[in-house]
Structure 1
Amino acid sequence: MGAGIRRAGPDDRAAVVRLLDEAFQHDPVSSWVLPDEARRREVHHLLMAAFLELALTEGHVDIMEDGSAAALWLDVPADPEDGDDDGPAQLRALVDPDNERVEQIAHLTAAAHPHGRAHAYLMLIAVTPDRQGGGLGAALIAPVLKECDRAGRPAYLEASSERSPRLYERLGFAPLGEPLRLPDGPLMYPMWREPQA
């Protein structure tokens, strides 16, 4: 772990959900999934809480000691077992039952996800809005990428804005295939990072 970074645990749930909610409230993908702004303010935190639980169960969460940034990682095996086909529907039922986009985003990202090699999946990285652009995100994920390099393990993510792929390219990620187009919505940019010497 880098200086000022620690592994999150169950006691950090509320603080990390608040951070994720704040950081992604106006993200293009969150705005597509929950297009009504008032409804997004009501239920977006439930979506972020579901992602956090998945990371705590199937990966890990790193946070800055001061709570200004958090990264949610999943450990993806080379040949994952068939997932829970009801997972996207359960997510929709938990977050916003009348909104098919909650379920749709889960199906679309799962279909775009690469298989065949074990990898670290950066599911979400959040930085408080007043600290964005200052290098906190890169500092937060650098220790995991160094560990990936030592282990010979690739990493994967989906960038959710037009400018973020350039930031990830500086960390060794490269575009992976065509962008994922959300129906009548924004693009997501799958990116892959081979381990580096």
Structure 2
Amino acid sequence: MGVAIRVAGEADRELVVRLLDEAFQDDPVSNWVFPDPERRRAKHPGLMAAFTDVVLAEGRVDLAEDGSACALWLSVPAAGSHEGTGEGGGEGDGAQEDGPAQLRAAVDPDNERIELIGRLTADIHPEGRAHEYLWMIGVAPGRQGEGLGGALIESVLERCDREGLAAYLEASNARSRALYERLGFELSGRPLDLPDGPRMWPMWREPRPGGPARG
């Protein structure tokens, strides 16, 4: 599928936040973080804004030219490197230790699950090798199922394959897990079962000389 993709900048911030908010309102993990629908509608956009700000500052946001989808990536350095990846929920070695607590304080101080998910995903994040980390990918609800997410991911995986770089993500639902498996990701370690909540699947992809797998 031919999808025109560009790197988002600060001028695209509100578009990216809106995309992520709409795409993840009904996601199992977002529903666990904000189990009350009214509170989720009120607080979820702030959480997506915080994630967007981290990645705009420390990583890369790929955006479909028509504004229908976006992908948030962080480059995680090898163990022992002094390069950082910012703070927030789920990065690897570069995350500040108090990042999840700061995120909770900024978004919804009374919601301990914001801090908890940041710590739990950080705990399962692979250490050692440099890799590209797909933190989040969001597709507008009316455009899901068109292959936009796969196109955004493949554009980065092609570079990973050229450069011999691994990639990592956490799948938050079974449908996205199936997509990632088609692109060459495999389960990495044990799934993460959120307390009284859904399962997340840590997934790792080794670089492939032939490029991304297509199902």
Question: Normalization by structure 2: what TM-score?
Answer: 0.88
Q: What does residue 168 of structure 2 align with?
A: 156
Q: What does residue 100 of structure 2 align with?
A: 88
Q: What does residue 75 of structure 2 align with?
A: 75
What amino acid does structure 1 have at the position aligned with 2:33? V
1:71-125 Cα deviation digits (max 9, x unpaired): 0000001126563222111100111100100000000000010010000000000
Q: What does residue 7 of structure 2 align with?
A: 7
Q: What does residue 179 of structure 2 align with?
A: 167
Question: Normalization by structure 1: what TM-score?
Answer: 0.96
Q: Distance in 1 between matches of 2:202 and 2:96?
A: 22
1:182 aligns with 2:194: yes
Q: 2:112 aligns with which of 90, 100, 107?
A: 100
Q: Distance in 1 between matches of 2:131 and 2:97?
A: 22
1:102-154 Cα deviation digits (max 9, x unpaired): 00000000001001000000000000111111111001111100000000000
1:54 is displaced (CA, Å) by 1.4
Aligned positions of 1:26-175 closer than 5 A: 26-79=26-79, 83-175=95-187
Q: Distance in 2 between matches of 1:172 and 1:160?
A: 17
Change (3 A) 1:181 1:88: same
Q: Distance in 2 between matches of 1:193 and 1:84?
A: 25
Q: Distance in 2 between matches of 1:52 and 1:39?
A: 20
1:169 is displaced (CA, Å) by 0.7
2:174 counterpart SS class: coil
What amino acid does structure 1 have at the position aligned with 2:34? L
Q: Distance in 2 between matches of 1:30 and 1:10?
A: 25
- Tell me, which stretches of 5 or more residues in structure 1 are unaligned? none
2:46 counterpart SS class: helix
What amino acid does structure 1 have at the position aligned with 2:176? S
What amino acid does structure 2 have at the position aligned with 1:143? S
Q: Distance in 2 between matches of 1:48 and 1:162?
A: 21
What amino acid does structure 2 have at the position aligned with 1:106? G
Q: CA RMSD in A?
A: 1.2
- Percentage of matched positions with identical amino acids: 65
Q: Distance in 2 between matches of 1:78 and 1:165?
A: 25
Q: What does residue 195 of structure 1 align with?
A: 207
- Tell me, which stretches of 5 or more residues in structure 2 are unaligned? 83-93, 210-215
